[in-house]
C-alpha cells in the first residue's frame, strides 16, 4: 500500500469516527425537525456549521487526492486538493457571513432599535425575538423585563407623586379651612354677641322705658341674634369636626343632670307650643365618661328638633338608661314624622325632615348632622325610627368609658 492509500485510509477512519461521534451527539441533542435548529445557542450553531464544513472539505480533499493518487502528477493532485478545500472553505465563509447577517446582525439591530425607543420614552415598545432560545432571545427577554420594570417604576413614581400632591393639597385645604374658621369665629360671633347683649338690655329697659312696639322690636332682634349665633356655632363645630380640629374632653359626668338642664332650657319653647316634656330615667344617676358640653349640645339639638316638629298638644319624651357598658339616650316625639323617602338622607348636612317652609323656617338641617358627628367622636351610634304623622324616635348609644381618650 503506497503513501496515498495510507493517507486515504487514515482519513476514512477519522471520518468514520467523526461520523459515529456526530451521530451519537445527534441522537442525544438532534431536534425532531430542522426548525429546532433555531433553538441551539449561537456558539453551538457556529460549531456545527464549521465542523460540518471542515469535515466536508477533508472528505472532498481526500477524495480528490485518492482519485489522482496513482498518477505521476502528485503536485497537481495536491494543488487540486488544496483548490477543492479552498472552495469549500470559501463556501463555509459565505454561509457564515449570511448566518451572522441574518441570525445575529439583523436581530441585534431590531433589539437595539427597541432599546432606543424605550430610552426615548415609548414604554409600550414591542421587544422582538423574545421567543428565541439562544443568546439573542435571552437578551430580548432581559430587555422586556427591563421595560416592564421601568414601566412599573414610573407608574409607582407617578402614584407616589400624585399621593404627595394630594396630601399637600389636603394639608393646604385644611390649613385654609382652619384659618377661615378662626376668622369667622371672631368676625361673626363678636358682633352677634354685641347685638344680643344690647337687645337684651333694651328688652329689660335698663336705660329707660320703651314703647310696646320698640319692646317687640328688641325681642325680635334678640331672638334672631340668638338663632343666627346658634347657626354659626353649629356650622363652625361641624366644620371643625370634619377638619379633624374638634377634640372631645371626656370626664365622668351624670347624664341625668344633663337631661334636667336641657329640659329646663327647652321648657319655655315647649310651653309656647303647648307641648308636654317628659323625663323617663331608670336610675337617679346615669354615670359615664363623656364630654359634657358635647352631650348637652346633642340633647339640645334633639329636643329642639322634636319640639319644632311636634304639633300643639303633643308630647316629647327623653329616656336615659344604662345597659352594661353602654348608655342609651332616646328622644321620642309625637310630631309629624319623617317621610320614608327622606329618612335615608336624614343626618346629612342641610337635610331637613320637611320642606314645608312653615315648619322648616327656623332650621338649616345641621342639627342631626352635628349630633351624628359628636356621637361618632365618642365612639357611639345614632339610629332614627320614624313614621309619617305618628312621630320620630332618635336613639343614641354611647360607651360608658373612653379608655383611649379619658383625661388622666
Q: Is-contact 99 45, C-beta < 8 A?
A: yes
Q: How many domains does the chain have?
A: 2
DSSP 348: B
pLDDT at position 352 is 59
**pLDDT for 406:** 41
Q: Residue 126 domain-assigned?
A: no
CB neighbours (10 Å) of residue 360?
A: 15
With respect to residue 184, please indicate whether it lies within any of the assigned structural domains: no
| Per-residue confidence (pLDDT) for residue 403, from 0 to 100 | 67
- What's 383's domain CATH number? 3.30.565.10
In a domain, 384, yes or no: yes
pLDDT at 135: 75
Looking at residue 318, the DSSP 8-state letter turns out to be E
Q: pTM for this structure? A: 0.51
Domain boundary among 64, 98, 119: 119
Q: Split the chain (408 residues) into runs of 10 and give each run's mean pLDDT.
A: 48 52 43 40 53 56 54 58 69 69 73 76 74 76 79 83 86 74 72 88 87 88 83 76 76 92 90 92 90 90 90 93 91 88 68 52 67 89 89 92 58
Residue range 63-117, pLDDT digits in tens? 555 555 544 555 565 666 667 667 767 777 777 677 666 766 777 778 778 777 7
Give a yes or no: residue 206 inside a domain: no
Domain termination residue (choose one: 91, 119, 147):
119
Q: Which of 95, 119, 143 is the last residue of a domain?
A: 119
Q: Given this model, what pLDDT does residue 408 score?
A: 37
Residue 169 domain flag? no
Q: How far apart are CA 314 and CA 97, in angstroms?
A: 105
Residue 381 lies in a domain: yes
- 137 in a structural domain: no
Residue 404 within any structural domain of the chain: no
337: left (phi over 0), alpha (psi -120 to 50) or beta: left
Give residue 60's domain range: 3-119
Amino acid at each position: 500500500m503506497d503513501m496515498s492509500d495510507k493517507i486515504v485510509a487514515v482519513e476514512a477512519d477519522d471520518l468514520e469516527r467523526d461520523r459515529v461521534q456526530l451521530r451519537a451527539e445527534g441522537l442525544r441533542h438532534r431536534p425532531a425537525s430542522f426548525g429546532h435548529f433555531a433553538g441551539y445557542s449561537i456558539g453551538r450553531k457556529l460549531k456545527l456549521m464549521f465542523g460540518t464544513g471542515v469535515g466536508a472539505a477533508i472528505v472532498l480533499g481526500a477524495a480528490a487526492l485518492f482519485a489522482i493518487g496513482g498518477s505521476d502528477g502528485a503536485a497537481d493532485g495536491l494543488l487540486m486538493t488544496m483548490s477543492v478545500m479552498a472552495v469549500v472553505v470559501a463556501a463555509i465563509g459565505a454561509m457564515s457571513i449570511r448566518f451572522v447577517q441574518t441570525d445575529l446582525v439583523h436581530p441585534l439591530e431590531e433589539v437595539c432599535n427597541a432599546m432606543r425607543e424605550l430610552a426615548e420614552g415609548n414604554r409600550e415598545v414591542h421587544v422582538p425575538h423574545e421567543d428565541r432560545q439562544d443568546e439573542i432571545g435571552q437578551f430580548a427577554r432581559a430587555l422586556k423585563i427591563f421595560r416592564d420594570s421601568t414601566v412599573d417604576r414610573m407608574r409607582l413614581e407617578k402614584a407616589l407623586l400624585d399621593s404627595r400632591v394630594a396630601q399637600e393639597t389636603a394639608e393646604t385645604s385644611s390649613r385654609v379651612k382652619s384659618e377661615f374658621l378662626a376668622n369667622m369665629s371672631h368676625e361673626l360671633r363678636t358682633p352677634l354677641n354685641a347685638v344680643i347683649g344690647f337687645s337684651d338690655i333694651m328688652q329689660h329697659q335698663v336705660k329707660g322705658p320703651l314703647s310696646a312696639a320698640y319692646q317687640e322690636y328688641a325681642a325680635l332682634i334678640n331672638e334672631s341674634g340668638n338663632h343666627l349665633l346658634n347657626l354659626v356655632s353649629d356650622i363652625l363645630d361641624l366644620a371643625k369636626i370634619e377638619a379633624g380640629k374638634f377634640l372631645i374632653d371626656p370626664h365622668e359626668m351624670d347624664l341625668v343632670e344633663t337631661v334636667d338642664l336641657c329640659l329646663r332650657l327647652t321648657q319655655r319653647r315647649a310651653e309656647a307650643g303647648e307641648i308636654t316634656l317628659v323625663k323617663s330615667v331608670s336610675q337617679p344617676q346615669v354615670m359615664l365618661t363623656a364630654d359634657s358640653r358635647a352631650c348637652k349640645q346633642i340633647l339640645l339639638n334633639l329636643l329642639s328638633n322634636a319640639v319644632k316638629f311636634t304639633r300643639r298638644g303633643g308630647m316629647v319624651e327623653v329616656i336615659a338608661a344604662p345597659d352594661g357598658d353602654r348608655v342609651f339616650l332616646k328622644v321620642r316625639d309625637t310630631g309629624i314624622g319623617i317621610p320614608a323617602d327622606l329618612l335615608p338622607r336624614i343626618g346629612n348636612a342641610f337635610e331637613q325632615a320637611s320642606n314645608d317652609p312653615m315648619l322648616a323656617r327656623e332650621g338649616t338641617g345641621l342639627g342631626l348632622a352635628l349630633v351624628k358627628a359628636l356621637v361618632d367622636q365618642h365612639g357611639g351610634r345614632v339610629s332614627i325610627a320614624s313614621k309619617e304623622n305618628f312621630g320620630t324616635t332618635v336613639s343614641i348609644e354611647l360607651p360608658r368609658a373612653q379608655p383611649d381618650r379619658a383625661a388622666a
